[in-house]
Amino acid sequence: MRIVHWLSMLLAFLLLGIQGQQGAYAASASEIKLTFLGTGAPRPSLSRYGPAILVEAGDYKIMVDAGPGMRERLFQAGGFEILTAVDHILITHLHFDHTISAPGLWLTGWLFGRKTPMKVYGPTGTAAMMAHFRAAYDWDIRYRTVVGVHEEGSQLLGTDIQSGVFFDQDGLKITAFDVEHMPINVATGESLGLEGATLGYRIDYRGRSVLFSGDTRSTASSQIIPYGKGVDVLIHETQVPAIENSPEAILANVSLSVHSSPAQVAHVFEQTRPRLGVYSHIIPPEMTAEALLALTDYDGNMMVAEDLMTITIGDELTIGRAEGAGTDIFTQADVVDD
Ligand SMILES: [Zn+2]
């Protein structure tokens, strides 16, 4: 498994002329740094945690999705420093594998030093979900503030957003767009009537850009194609059908109509031609990089993300691994203002 992983990294270096890099947390002034904290989906996996990607641009530290295990992977990558620094979360949609660690990051970051509110953006229903989380942990917050934890930073602010630019400051622009992840009748293509919305995001910073597909099926009208044209890094989900005939395989395949096969992602990459196409949110999580690449008929630069992999987007695309960059002993971390 490890050998396969490093072989795929080596292949990426050869194909892209990308530089390897270890450690060193923050991106430099005009770069975007991505840290893949979880590259899996709802199915538990010890190698691919739930979907969560940290974006660092300038002074901003933004989490895209908050899947299972995100808090632990973030701590693994950058210790208490990064755990207390992230104060924005972008949610692509309200499935548990994209939201369940939002309260974990909000409360842990606050408890160990963050004094800014946690700001969460997502589709319709996000503000209500965050209000429910706030209500669920009301006793926890009152308890801890009574015993002396600072109250600042305990706020959880959810905002419902629509497609379009919703954040534009300090050179950082974030655009949301609709993606197609709502349930449909597979035979007719008609909606099954569930209300709600699912989003993808594009982040632009000083001439660098990254697009997150969110969870989506692929169709000719996909908004990923216009928003993804010319982007530096395009991160796309994928699901490979199970070919067994067990009840488990049949259940696993229920979601095929709301996800994208590797052949469909190849089409998206072909239409958008990013500097680098990346698979993350991989179903099933045990798919190897080699198997996924073999299923993807695309001649451009692409790779399969691994948990804790980093991509720094600058003049070069630099691939690295985030681990142990911060302090893991709280009393030595220097993260609480006097
Ligand atoms: Zn998902």
Closest CA to 77 of 306, 282, 276, 233: 306
pLDDT of res. 156: 98
Closest CA to 332 of 114, 81, 115: 81
Q: What is the phi/psi pair of residue 12, to 5°? A: -65, -40
Closest CA to 317 of 309, 325, 308: 309
Using CA of residue 141, residue 102, residue 184, residue 250, what is the dihedral sign?
A: negative
Query: What's the gap in Å between 181 CA and the centre of ligand 1?
Result: 9
pTM: 0.92
Q: What angle do CA 312, 314, 319 make, to 5 degrees?
A: 30
178 is known as an active-site residue: no
- CA distance linking residue 166 with residue 181, whole number of Å: 21
CA atoms within 13 A on the CB side of 171: 14
Domain boundaries of the chain, sorted by first residue: 2-315
Query: What's the gap in Å between 303 CA and the centre of ligand 1?
Result: 19
Query: What's the gap in Å between 73 CA and the centre of ligand 1?
Result: 18
The 10s digit of each residue's pLDDT in 242-266 is: 999 999 999 998 898 899 999 999 9
The two structure tokens encoding residue 122:
């997502």
Which of 97, 204, 215, 232 is flagged as catalytic?
97
pLDDT of res. 129: 98
Query: What's the gap in Å between 150 CA and the centre of ligand 1?
Result: 34
Query: What is the mean pLDDT of each successive set of 10 residues along the chain, which is 338 residues long?
Result: 46 48 57 98 97 97 98 98 98 98 98 98 98 98 97 98 97 97 88 93 98 92 94 98 93 90 96 98 97 97 98 97 93 92
pLDDT of res. 186: 84
The 10s digit of each residue's pLDDT in 160-216 is: 999 999 999 999 999 999 999 888 888 888 999 999 899 999 999 999 999 999 999
- CA distance linking residue 255 with residue 267, whole number of Å: 20
- CA distance linking residue 320 with residue 328, whole number of Å: 20
Residues whose CB falls within 8 Å of the CB of residue 116, separated by 6 or more in sequence, listed in order? 87, 152, 153
> What CATH topology corresponds to 2-315?
Metallo-beta-lactamase; Chain A (3.60.15)
